[in-house]
Each structure stands twice: as C-alpha cells, then as structure tokens.
C-alpha cells in the first residue's frame, strides 16, 4: 500500500477509476435527467446550463446517458474479466504444472481460439447468441479465457521449477495441494496486473460491439451506441461523440495506468525480493 501511495501512475489511475465508478453507482440519484426521456423541443441543444453536455437528436440529456451508460460497460467489463480469470487461471495452472498430455489437451484449443482476431470472433459469437447483456458477458468471458490461460501457464512453468515447489513435491504434497498453497498464491500478482489490463480491453470490446449495433440494445444508453448515434452528425453536433469518447478514454487510461503501476509495485525483482 505504501508503494501504491507513492506511485503517481497508481494514484491517477485509481482516481479516474473511482470517479467513473461513482458516476455509474450514483447515476439513479445524480443524473440530472431521465436518460430515456424524449423531448424533441430541446433536441440537439449544445452544452448549456440546463443541459451541461447538451442533448441528442431526441432531446435526451447527454450527461445523464453517459452516467447511465457507464453501468452496463463496467458491469460487462468486471463480470467478463472475473469469469475469464477464474476459468482461464485454472486451465493455465493445470497445463503449466502437469505439462505433457494435459498441456496438449488444454492449450491446443486455446491456441486455435487465439488465432482468430478478437473482434471477428466476438461479432460471430454475438451474432450466433443474440444481443443481450448476458450474452455479451458470456461472449467476452470466452474471449478472455484463453488469454488468462496463456499468461498463467507461463507463470506456472516458471514457478514449478523453483526450490520451494521442489521441496513441497519431495515432501509428499499432492499436486492439488502444491497448486493451492504455492502456485496460485505466487501467481496472484501477475493475475491482478493482467486483470487490470484486460478490464480496459473488455470495456473497449463492449463499446466496439455496441458501436457496431450488436452490443447493448438501444434505447438503453451505452458509450458505444452513443458514439454510433453521434457519428452521423459529428460536424454539426460534435458533443454527441466528444463527451462519450472522453469518458471511454478516461476509463481505459485509468485501468492501464493502474495496471502498469501494479506491475512495477508487485514485481519482487524490482524490490530485492525472490523472483
């Protein structure tokens, strides 16, 4: 914690993330207008005192829609990364520890999934499952399972050769006890850093799918579909894309700054510890 408090990158990243989380959590009470309320009389108003970030073609408040749009983006991001981390980490540690045929059985399907471009695979899966919140979480989770598995497998291959793992194996500990007591706890730092980086990726994928019309279904607000709605009038009403884009950018920068700082803070080799 002391290293985190001394890291400017960690503090800036955490501050951005906390602000976005507060905007999402407090949206039902802090949003100045109903994000779904249509009022053509105030359509396409530029930012002003009554509507701080302006309105869209239907007269909906951009600020309110941005705050409410943070909720599905963050929910999908956190849920998909949590599921992908849980499943992928277990597959990766099994493949890395047992090697041999177990490694072959686990990693060959994962290599096949990693060979596809992530956006093309996401589009195909959402098109097959249909656009819904649950299907988005399931799709993005499956995209991150092979990526977590690859990272954790590499970490496990390095850890299993260390002296304390050899000592535990010589002492008669079962493979499951070694995985539970030694490998997973010592891979936690790498998993945490990977989660922060993949959180930014998950939110960006959700925004991209919503932008393409296969993510969060309008009129429910999402940063991606707000960008899609504003692109047709980017010169006449630039605020429709500028503010959701800035919100998305701040979120991605926050997670990447925090992940980069945690990578340096949690690496024992940078602080005189044992690798």
Task: pLDDT band for 269, please (50, 70, 90 cuts).
Answer: low
Task: pLDDT band for 267, please (50, 70, 90 cuts).
Answer: low
pTM, two decimals, is: 0.90
Task: pLDDT band for 275, please (50, 70, 90 cuts).
Answer: very low
Task: Give the chain's domains with CATH numbers.
Answer: 79-270 (1.10.3720.10)
Higher model confidence: residue 132 or residue 82? 82
**pLDDT reported for residue 55:** 93
Mean per-residue pLDDT of the chain: 89
List pLDDT tens digits, range 103-152: 999 999 999 988 888 888 888 888 888 878 899 999 999 999 999 999 99
**pLDDT reported for residue 268:** 59
For residue 153, pLDDT over 80 is answered with: yes
Alpha-carbon gap, residue 164 to 155, rounded angstroms = 15
């Amino acid at each position: 914690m002391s290293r985190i408090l001394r890291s400017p990158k960690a503090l800036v990243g955490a501050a951005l993330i906390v602000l976005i989380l507060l905007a999402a959590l407090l949206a039902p009470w802090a949003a100045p207008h109903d994000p779904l309320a249509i009022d053509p009389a105030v359509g396409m108003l530029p930012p002003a005192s009554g509507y701080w970030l302006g309105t869209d073609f239907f007269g909906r408040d951009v600020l309110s829609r941005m705050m409410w749009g943070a909720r599905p983006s963050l929910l999908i991001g956190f849920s998909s990364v949590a599921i992908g981390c849980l499943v992928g980490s277990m597959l990766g540690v099994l493949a890395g520890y047992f090697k041999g045929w177990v490694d072959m059985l686990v990693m060959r399907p994962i290599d096949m999934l990693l060979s596809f471009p992530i956006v093309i695979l996401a589009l195909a899966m959402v098109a097959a499952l249909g656009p819904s919140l649950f299907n988005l979480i399931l799709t993005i989770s499956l995209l991150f399972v092979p990526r977590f598995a690859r990272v954790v497998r590499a970490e496990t291959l390095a850890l299993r050769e260390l002296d304390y793992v050899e000592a535990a194996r010589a002492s008669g500990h079962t493979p499951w006890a070694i995985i539970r007591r030694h490998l997973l706890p010592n891979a936690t730092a790498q998993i945490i850093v990977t989660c922060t980086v993949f959180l930014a990726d998950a939110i960006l994928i959700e925004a991209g799918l919503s932008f393409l019309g296969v993510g969060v279904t309008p009129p429910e607000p999402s940063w991606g579909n707000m960008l899609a709605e504003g692109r047709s009038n980017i010169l006449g009403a630039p605020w429709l894309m500028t503010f959701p884009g800035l919100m998305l950018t701040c979120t991605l920068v926050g997670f990447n700054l925090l992940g980069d700082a945690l990578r340096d803070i949690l690496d024992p080799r940078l602080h005189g510890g044992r690798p």
